[in-house]
Structure 1
Amino acid sequence: MTGTALANAIAEYLSSIEAGNYRENADSALQQWAEWLARERDVSHLDDVAVIDCRRYARHLKRRVRADELKSSTAHTYYAYVRAFLGFCEADELISKNPAAVSRAQAELPENTADADRQFWSQRDRKSILAFMDKRVERALDGDGVSRERAYRDRALVRLLALSGVRGAEVFRSPADDKRPGAAWKDVDIDGGSIRVFGKSREYEYAQLPRKAADALERYHRVFDPPTPRFPVFPTDHAPSKFRAVREQLEGEYTGNRIESILDENDIDDVVREYEIVIPAISTRGARNLMKRLCAEAGLDIDGEYLKPHGARRGLGHQLYSEGHAELAQSALRHASIATTHESYSNIRASETAERVDDVLDES
């Protein structure tokens, strides 16, 4: 066997990926695929990967779905990682054609039922959680429940998700991606009604900030009074992370003994504020856990689940689109083209078409 070793090609591909989460997930999927190729197809070099190997791999994934070892959406995701890798190899002129992109290979994939399972916040659920967050703030002001600062923070977080169309990874910290540290106050333009985020395109974009979301952020900002505009909008509560940030950012300005003395003699939050320490933002996982707790407090049960952060974006788009505002949905969700918006809400278009067909048939 000659040519590029599969392991070397995979390493080269992974080194080209900027997004940490995607790189980590792709690494895992591609290593599993390479092991399967070596074991089942006796293939270890890139040049030897043929269409039939990809077709057999797709069939292997289908069998795992039938055995309840994988969800159909996961099987499609695994295959997509392989297809993307081989597409990279084609573009890099390591192979002449992407064998995973051939239709007869992809035909063996299981039916993808992911769309039917995707959660979105219904209008009723959105109103319920927003009303609960308002009442929670009122209770905090009366000295009942969580602190006033926490109540304002959580309300701002839920309103931002529910009304702006932002993705969780755009406003919360993604631990595997250095370019996604979470939104900072310097990114928020309350008067201008926008928030600057690092978008899915891996370019900075401006997401719309409706009045109710902007008002919640403005009141939270007034109560919290962040020590610096570089401070995260939704900071972590993880004490070790705060201590680590203080030590790292005061290093060079003070001796190690002096830093430890400062930490021993003062509350960590007071140190953060006095020395304008920029602590990490809450992580995407932390935000999901927070939404679980809030839904439990509010008594909201969505088919045994909680209101997931990304479901807020889908729910906003669903309502705008279903009410006839396709272009507004495109703008709010920052889709590159209206075709993407139409595709995302094709179920609504099909329903509307059915109603129109019924009207025509009833008249005939």
Structure 2
Amino acid sequence: MSTPSERRANSGGTTVREAVDDYLRYKIKADGSETTMRSPLYRFARHCRNELGVELVGDLEPTHVRRFSEHLYDKVKLEDDPDERLAASTAQTYFAYVRAFLSWCVREQHLETNPANTNTAEDPLPQDDGKRKTQYWSDRDRKQLEHYATKRVDMALEGTIRTDAQTALRDRAIVVMLGGTGARGAELFADPKDDKRPGLRWSDVDFDRQLIEVYGKSREYEEAPFPESVHNVLDRWYGFLEPPTDEWPVFPTGHYGSKKDRLEETVSEEAVSAALEGRGDAGKTEVLDSLHREHEVPPPSISKEGVRRLLKRLTKEANIDPDGDYDYLTLHGARRALGRDLYANGMSEKAQEALRHQSIETTHEAYSDLQMEDVSKSIDEVRE
């Protein structure tokens, strides 16, 4: 059996990502499979490089693939992050894609044997019991949340609550954006673990064409809907915020430390310290906000986790008791609700387009419960 160094020599130092690109380009035909497999295989390549320190495909061992299986297991077991959580069936599918890719690597002489064809590699994979933790924002809950967010803006402008007007207006825009666009949380808000996801910028918002450009789950830029109901709220928020550049985040963070760090990285620690020391009666946050604008340094966007905490707080303050498996209105519940409303009204293709599913089969699977409900009603109708 050849050694890893010999395999590297045979493969010409091919990286995992390069091998994935070759596999998708030359092996997988253009029948939709390439698009379906690209994201999971790129996930595997990133995991190898970033988490395992494995750059070259010839260095892959069963223990490395096992670590990826453990990563998929952790994603399935996520309890409070529906955007990132995987279904057990999806984890099994992703692993199957990786195994097929590695079998191709053997045929291309990048590897001696397939490191995924071992019990060691496959053991951590979760079993699919068919159950899914789900939630839809009901129409009642969505309207109640939006009403409370609007009321909160009025109270902030009146000075009857501690929340400032800018924060209240931003939070209302977040609620309406989630409920009306079907965008994923990872597409609207920052993910500190992913440099490609800094949060939506004003340059991504097209008021005239009624669309927003987001970095999708496919890890490519996609156009998402931007209906009039969201347009109006975001337009008011834009007028209040008056961002100095189009690269300003649509939903800036309110976190003091994050704003200070960004300024120190781009201006200088000395300049930030001097401004804070000489602030007089001005608050520290006010000084930082002024520096961001003066130097046209966009502050960080609010993070996805920050929005999750916000939704938990707003759900409780608005006295909302959601249906489903969660005790607060989740990020993903808003997306599912939009798709449900379109799907239930006979617009399955519009639901697919709004949610940007790669195939109509994905949309049908996501709303299989509605299909069965419709079948049940049909049985009742024909047997009346």
Interval containing the TM-score (normalised by the shorter chain): 0.7 to 0.9
The residue aligned with 1:316 is 338
Matching of residue 274 in structure 1 with residue 294 in structure 2: yes
Runs of 5+ consecutive residues of structure 2 not aligned to the other structure: 21-37, 53-58, 78-84, 280-286
In structure 2, relative to structure 1, the CA distance for the partners of 1:344 and 1:150 (3 Å cut) is same
In structure 2, relative to structure 1, the CA distance for the partners of 1:141 and 1:73 (3 Å cut) is closer
In structure 2, relative to structure 1, the CA distance for the partners of 1:283 and 1:47 (3 Å cut) is closer
The residue aligned with 1:35 is none
In structure 2, relative to structure 1, the CA distance for the partners of 1:208 and 1:98 (3 Å cut) is farther
**Identical aligned residues as a percent:** 38
Which of 236, 243, 250 does residue 267 from structure 2 map onto? 250
The residue aligned with 2:25 is none
Distance 1:220 1:201 in 2: 29
1:287 alignment partner AA: V
Give the 3-state SS of the residue equivalent to 2:156 in structure 1. helix
The residue aligned with 2:367 is 345
Contact 2:2–2:112 (CA under 8 A) maintained in structure 1: no
Which of 228, 233, 253 does residue 216 from structure 1 map onto? 233
Which of 334, 337, 349 does residue 327 from structure 1 map onto? 349
Show CA shifts across 1:177-210 (max 9, x none). Answer: 1111110111112233211111111111111111
Distance 2:214 2:266 in 1: 24
1:261 alignment partner AA: A
Runs of 5+ consecutive residues of structure 1 not aligned to the other structure: 32-44, 66-71
Contact 2:180–2:338 (CA under 8 A) maintained in structure 1: yes
TM-score by length of 1: 0.75
Distance 2:356 2:91 in 1: 27
RMSD between aligned alpha carbons?
4.0
Distance 1:357 1:3 in 2: 64
Distance 2:171 2:135 in 1: 21
1:351 alignment partner AA: E
Distance 1:176 1:224 in 2: 27
Give the 3-state SS of the residue equivalent to 1:324 in structure 2. coil
Distance 1:47 1:263 in 2: 53
Give the 3-state SS of the residue equivalent to 1:234 in structure 2. coil
In structure 2, relative to structure 1, the CA distance for the partners of 1:186 and 1:122 (3 Å cut) is same
Aligned pairs for 1:137-152 within 5 A = 137-145=153-161, 146-152=163-169
Give the 3-state SS of the residue equivalent to 1:195 in structure 2. strand
Distance 1:23 1:97 in 2: 18
Distance 1:163 1:191 in 2: 17
Higher helix share: 1
Distance 1:147 1:109 in 2: 45
Distance 1:47 1:319 in 2: 47
Q: Offset at 1:348? A: 1.2
In structure 2, relative to structure 1, the CA distance for the partners of 1:278 and 1:46 (3 Å cut) is closer
1:123 alignment partner AA: D
Distance 1:289 1:261 in 2: 33
The residue aligned with 2:29 is none
Distance 1:74 1:352 in 2: 24
Distance 2:343 2:92 in 1: 31
Which of 144, 160, 171 does residue 188 from structure 2 map onto? 171
In structure 2, relative to structure 1, the CA distance for the partners of 1:123 and 1:109 (3 Å cut) is same
The residue aligned with 1:187 is 204
Give the 3-state SS of the residue equivalent to 1:183 in structure 2. coil
> How many equivalent pairs are there?
323
Contact 2:136–2:337 (CA under 8 A) maintained in structure 1: yes
Q: Offset at 1:171? A: 0.8
